[in-house]
């Protein structure tokens, strides 16, 4: 048995039908180090299709409202039946569906119902691969309030999985001490995969999906953007926070704490190397000074002016207190000599704007308050950018050349870590311009 451990997690589209099960089997058997496999529930096979988890949640909602739910349950049964027939697997699907129907009819439970997609998929994949099935109800430990008990989970995963040669573990859920099922947030199978990788001290966490890694820019805006070969955990967190979603952010957090490399791979193009996410880039990697650009629309920029804001009289602290009291999160806050700039999501600000401004006027007595709406925020990251330390200048110059107005700039110290505010109607132009600049920058080793 190989000493190396690779934990491979397959997402919903990777396991959507029998053909995808075959691809997974080929990928898994190609590398004996892929000993622990984590799976989601079958996702969409085509755009109008429904994810099994969505069908389960719909059936739960209907059962709760006392409405008939057999159409959803039949659709789920038929999806699994098709997979089983095509792969010629013997599995008591009728019996499992009877259990589900009984629980929905007698006492519908949201998390239990939602978890059945992953449970059934992992059972079936384990049979298909000839691997041991592991129910995370035994090893992903929640407390009775649905919070993960990390220490107990790590211990229990180690004890249950390390003695096994190989196993398939259902993603997305676990249980509390009483056996009650709890799920993570949607997309939470990534978290299960990361927990398994961390607990076992895996050499690699592979996250298999339907794209060949992380793009340097949003493919809905830029035509065929390049896939980034390597990026740091920090860069991934920044880009994902700003909208480039491939991996659940909690999954990145635990893997980065344990320094377990994450490799985003494409189940449909298994020869593509994908994106490798690591703490430090390996020597010799050829890297663009700009790793990627992403962003979000729907931002508001508040500017508060008062002479000598930064004179130590606690003006900024009072401002932050006002936001804290209202539990109003902000994207960032910049303090200048005579002004404070706040960037806040417009959907959160809109409902309390008038009250908030009133309170700022009363408490802080500013000289001026300004509001710019319909702004977007663009993140540009580049861990290698110190070697081309004018990368930030080039980005700003390029936006100016394109005649794109810049409403705010936040430049973190050190590496390229820029947050730029631009009007929403120029958002796409700005992303395209920065991506174009990136492609024309000299790559460094």
Positions 155 through 174 that interact with ligand ASP (CB under 6 A): 171-172
- Between CA 229 and CA 233, with CA 232 as vertex, the angle to 5 degrees is 125
Least distance from ligand ASP to the Cβ atom of residue 363, Å = 42
Q: Tell me whether strands 167-170 and 181-183 are parallel, antiparallel or unpaired.
A: unpaired
Does the footprint of ligand ASP cover residue 53 (CB under 6 A)?
A: yes
Give least dist CB 370 to ligand ASP, A: 41
Q: Residue 112 and residue 97: Cα distance in Å, rounded?
A: 13
Q: Is the Cβ–Cβ distance between 206 and 197 less than 8 Å?
A: no
Binding track, positions 115-134, relative to ligand ASP; x by CB under 6 A: --x-----------------
Closest residue to ligand ASP: CB criterion = 189
Let me know if 24 is exposed, middle or buried by CB neighbors in 10 A (0-12, 13-18, 19+): buried
One character per residue 354-383, x = contact with ligand ASP (rule: CB under 6 A): ------------------------------
User: Going residue by residue from 184 to 203, which x/- string records binding to ligand ASP, judged by CB under 6 A?
Assistant: --xxxx--------------
Q: Which residue, 151, 279, 208, is CA-closest to 6? A: 208
The rounded distance, in Å, linking the Cα atoms of 194 and 201 is 10
What are the start-end ranges of the H helices in 200-307?
A: 233-241, 249-257
* Bridge partner residues of 206 (DSSP): 8, 263
Candidates 34, 35, 51, 265: give the one binding ligand ASP (CB under 6 A): 51
Strands 262-266 and 204-209: parallel
Pick out residues in 252-311 that bind ligand ASP (CB under 6 A). Answer: none
Considering the complex, state which of residue 42 and residue 289 has its C-beta at the smaller distance from ligand ASP. Answer: 42
Rounded to a whole number of angstroms, the minimum distance from the CB of residue 117 to ligand ASP is 6
Residue 46 or 283 with smaller CB distance to ligand ASP: 46
Q: Which is nearer to ligand ASP, 117 or 136 (CB)?
A: 117
**Nearest-CA neighbor of 125 among 37, 6, 5, 196?**
37
Least distance to ligand ASP, CB of residue 185, Å: 8
Name the residues that contact ligand ASP, by CB under 6 A.
Answer: 12, 40-41, 51, 53, 117, 171-172, 186-189
């Amino acid at each position: 048995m190989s000493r190396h451990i690779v934990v491979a997690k397959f997402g919903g589209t990777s396991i959507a039908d029998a053909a995808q099960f075959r691809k997974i089997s080929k990928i898994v058997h190609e590398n004996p180090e892929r000993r622990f496999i984590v799976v989601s529930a079958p996702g969409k096979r085509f755009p109008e299709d429904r994810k099994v988890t969505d069908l389960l949640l719909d059936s739960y909602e209907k059962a709760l409202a006392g409405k008939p739910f057999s159409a959803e349950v039949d659709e789920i049964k038929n999806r699994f039946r098709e997979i089983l027939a095509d792969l010629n697997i013997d599995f008591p699907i009728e019996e499992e569906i009877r259990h589900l129907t009984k629980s929905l009819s007698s006492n519908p439970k949201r998390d239990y119902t939602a978890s059945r997609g992953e449970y059934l998929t992992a059972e079936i994949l384990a049979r298909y691969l000839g691997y041991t099935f592991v129910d995370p109800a035994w090893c992903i430990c929640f407390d009775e309030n649905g919070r993960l008990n990390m220490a107990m989970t790590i211990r229990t995963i180690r004890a249950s999985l390390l003695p096994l040669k190989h196993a398939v573990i259902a993603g997305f859920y676990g249980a509390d001490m009483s056996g009650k099922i709890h799920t993570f947030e949607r997309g939470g199978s990534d978290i299960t995969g990361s927990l398994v990788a961390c607990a076992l001290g895996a050499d690699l966490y592979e996250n298999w999906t339907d794209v060949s890694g992380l793009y340097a820019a949003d493919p809905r805006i830029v035509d065929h953007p390049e896939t980034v070969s390597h990026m740091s955990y920090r860069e991934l967190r920044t880009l994902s926070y700003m909208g480039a979603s491939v991996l659940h952010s909690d999954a990145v957090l635990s893997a980065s704490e344990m320094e377990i490399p994450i490799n985003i791979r494409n189940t449909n193009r298994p020869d593509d190397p994908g994106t490798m996410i690591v703490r430090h880039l390996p020597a010799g990697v050829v890297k663009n000074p700009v790793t990627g650009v992403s962003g979000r629309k729907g931002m508001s920029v508040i500017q508060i002016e008062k002479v000598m804001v930064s004179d130590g009289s606690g003006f900024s602290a009072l401002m932050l207190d006002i936001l804290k009291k209202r539990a109003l999160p902000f994207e960032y806050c910049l303090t200048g000599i005579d002004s404070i700039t706040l960037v806040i999501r417009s959907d959160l600000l809109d409902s309390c704007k008038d009250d908030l401004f009133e309170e700022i006027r009363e408490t802080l007595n500013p000289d001026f308050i300004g509001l710019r709406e319909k702004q977007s925020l663009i993140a540009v990251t580049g861990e290698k950018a110190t070697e081309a330390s004018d990368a930030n200048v080039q980005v700003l110059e390029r936006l100016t050349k394109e005649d794109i107005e810049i409403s705010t700039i936040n430049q973190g110290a050190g590496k390229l870590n820029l947050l730029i505010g631009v009007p929403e109607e120029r958002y796409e132009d700005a992303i395209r311009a920065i991506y174009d600049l990136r492609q024309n920058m000299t790559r460094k080793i």
